[in-house]
Structure 1
């Protein structure tokens, strides 16, 4: 095959490959190679693997599907990944993938230029750096400040950690805004509870319960109404 790839499942990457095509691309290419070595689907002398972007993302869960899609597109443009459609039904657009090992072999001799060189990170830091890239911490904090008239900093380590933790649990920007809206309605004008409109409270362990909080049912009293047309 190629000495630029390894025959193991763990998400690992060879530095020389990452330097040539980019860290994200090297990780995905290695993952595709792992499945191709199983030789489960042999077509025209090539081993193929098929997955949706969602299924690939489940294998590398610290990336979003959009990131996964961009990486595969780059690999196709570099000519390292070949795609096909061998599904039984034409309506099924799940892509099949194989690696152009001849093209990969050229990297060992010639190398190719990466239009957007990416710094090489230590393997243990890949998850943290990629997650931070995808999480809109600044947008969440900005929205919180706008709603609560506060000046919280998006660069605060504890704030970033809290938002990242909720993000990894599957919550997204709309969920953060919904929690901020609900608790602002509840607490903003309250002399005691308004001080809890802060990241450590809103984005902590009670985040999901705040998100699913049902609106309080207001009780109406006769005095709440004015009947100006009464004689």
Structure 2
């Protein structure tokens, strides 16, 4: 019985070599763009097929599993690599909707260079292998220790390639927030890896740390949330896109923030009230009783 999730509709195709060269997200975007420019909705302009779309519509029609920010970053990277070209062919001057096409010559040149590099690497590996086979058969054994007649081979530990990114992010957070989190904690690695898979970069993590430290560091109620599971969790995108907070615009007053430069002498309190003195006495008496637990 065929699963309803497998190829029941037009699938998103990912070429492994293309993804390895330009990135997974970017290869998905390029494939979908190629699909649309070969449909009837494309327009032939200056000898090239173009389609126009907003990031919101890209998300709705092609990438419902991504945020608009992820889609924007992927298109921007493709433009920087020269694979995607953009233009504005809108009739209305105020319409800033982007038009997109693929620079196939640039893409083919990029992939051809990759193929040549791979071939050169393979030749080098074959040459090195042949040279090693001609050498004397000597082995470099790792130190073997014996404990209770059991031989234990002391193998070097393997390291995750993303550990360097984890350490850079957490070291920066610790230095900025005065905390002491470990970069190799499982919970920390999970939230960082989740954001990296969504296409966020080291610079994005640094930006979130800077913004939230500036906003929360002086607030005892919020500073406890300067932790990896909060900063890099599901709200990461909203933190990244919020406006930066300038701490110099505020001064701390208790646990609240009061804007500097406020001249309270110009704010005269109103003495008019419709509440009688007896009502006020009853209000404060009830408040005190509730606050003191009715004692």
Q: TM-score with structure 1 length normalisation?
A: 0.50
Task: Determine which structure has greater relative contact order: mean sequence separation of CA pairs < 8 Å that are 6+ residues apart, divided by chain length.
Answer: 1
The structure that has the greater radius of gyration is 2
Greater percentage in strand? 2
Q: TM-score with structure 2 length normalisation?
A: 0.40
